[in-house]
Amino acid sequence: MLFIGLVWPEPTSSAAGWRILQLIKLFQQQYEVHFASSASKSEYSYPLSDLGITEHTILLNDSSFDYFIQDLRPDIVIFDRFMIEEQYGWRVTRSCPQTVQILDTEDLHLLRAARLEAYKKDRPIDLYNDTALREIASIYRCDLSLVISEAEMQLLTEEFHIHEQLIYFLPFCEEAITSAHISALPSFEARKDFVFIGNFIHEPNWKTVEILKRDIWPRIRKELPQAKLHIYGAYTPPKALQLHQLREGFLIKGRAEDARSTLAQYRVLLAPIPVGAGMKGKFVDAMHGGIPVVSSTIGAEGMAKEGLWNGFIADDIVDFVQKSLALYNHKEEWIQAQANGFTLFNKTFADLRPSFDLLEKCHDLCQNLENHRRKNFIGRMLRHHTLQSTKYLSLWIEEKNKGAH
């Protein structure tokens, strides 16, 4: 199995890095796993070789990839987000037509882009954007696409009419929270202050920090003058550092080396997330660390189930502040919210059946690929035309790059 990554996984920097590392470990149970990327590594890139993963550096818009994939001849290729499928999918199809192609959507970029555009321009959401045209086409071209949220599964089937045989719901895969873990966590009394965490490269996180600074924190601080709000996030930009105000108790802390142990020290996580998509890794970390959350409807989308949530969901600013104060000040409400988080975590993320079923599904795809593709005529049509258009664009870029040298 070959993973082609947009970047080298950084599980301490983002939920996306953590997600792909979980997938790698899952598929290692049945496959020899390779990982390739054209990106440069950072000091936070996970040492995949320590897991026995073979690493490959590849080039973008370069025919050397064709020779690489022909030599490797993987049974399955997993593309890390639709942009990677656009760049390399046609080459895999041309060189290894019998290789199963799987797209890991991470979250639906079309939904995130639509919400961001609507938020910036204060207008109704339009799902049928340019990103949707590209991402839905990528889903059709692939043999299977992994979707992290049930809400996004519903959107794909009901709004875009994607057949269920082409998409597969796979949430984060976690070990169950045990009573021993719970008893080792800091108590209500041992915790203090508020917290938010999120990779600053991800724009929804920056928008959230802006709302906290402008609308939420001044109101909370007025009621709790001694409380502080600690903001953690990888790749903190200068514009975020400029928001650091010790006198206001608004503290920009930078990267958290261990998100779960960091969050476990605080009493309440504030996340008035205005835009975005997918499941939020920060909330999975919060449930594990026993910290209740106040979030927006968009933030909790696909995660709150059967009315169960580890805290409160509020979209109105005044309501959000009141619920944040209630969790912070009232031990009984806090303990109930924490318990809800443990239950939700074990029900949603510690159920290993979707993971094992995926391994079985991949085995079936390898055995019956031709029959599977025959039922996906739209995908076959798109592969035919994309192979030509993307091929010549890439070859043109490759020739242009040669001329530049």
Query: Average per-residue pLDDT in the chain?
Result: 94
Compute the C-alpha angle 137/138/143, nearest 5°. 115
Q: Are 171 and 151 in contact (CB under 8 A)?
A: no
At residue 312, the pLDDT reads 97
Strand order in the sheet with 54-57: 54-57, 34-37, 2-5, 76-80, 100-104, 144-147, 167-169
pLDDT band at 391 (very low <50, low <70, confident <90, very high): low
Mean pLDDT, residues 332-336 taken together: 97
At residue 400, the pLDDT reads 74
Superfamily of domain 179-348: Glycogen Phosphorylase B; (3.40.50.2000)
pLDDT: which is higher, 190 or 16: 190
Residue 393 pLDDT exceeds 80: no
Mean pLDDT, residues 393-400 taken together: 71
Residue 15 pLDDT exceeds 80: yes
pLDDT band at 404 (very low <50, low <70, confident <90, very high): low
Cα radius of gyration rounded to whole Å, the chain: 22
Burial tier of 374 (Cβ tally within 10 Å: 0-12, 13-18, 19+): exposed
Q: Are 274 and 119 in contact (CB under 8 A)?
A: yes
Q: How far apart are CA 392 and CA 61, in angstroms?
A: 10
Residue 313 pLDDT exceeds 80: yes
Residue ranges matching CATH 3.40.50.2000 in the chain:
2-173+352-404, 179-348
Residue 291 pLDDT exceeds 80: yes
Give the Å distances, CA to CA, from 29 to 113, 195, 350: 35, 37, 18
* Residue 269 three-state SS: strand
Residue 394 pLDDT exceeds 80: no
Residue 387 pLDDT exceeds 70: no
Cβ neighbours for 360, distance < 8 A, ≥ 6 positions apart: none
Phi, psi of 229 (to 5 degrees): -115, 120
pLDDT band at 211 (very low <50, low <70, confident <90, very high): very high
Q: How far apart are CA 176 and CA 195, in angstroms?
A: 24
At residue 401, the pLDDT reads 77
Residue 260 pLDDT exceeds 90: yes
Mean pLDDT, residues 273-286 taken together: 93
Percent of the chain with pLDDT over 70: 97
The architecture that CATH gives domain 2-173+352-404 is: 3-Layer(aba) Sandwich (3.40)
At residue 392, the pLDDT reads 65
Tokens (6 digits) for 226: 């001694």
At residue 304, the pLDDT reads 86
Residue 374 pLDDT exceeds 90: yes
pLDDT band at 188 (very low <50, low <70, confident <90, very high): very high
Burial tier of 71 (Cβ tally within 10 Å: 0-12, 13-18, 19+): exposed
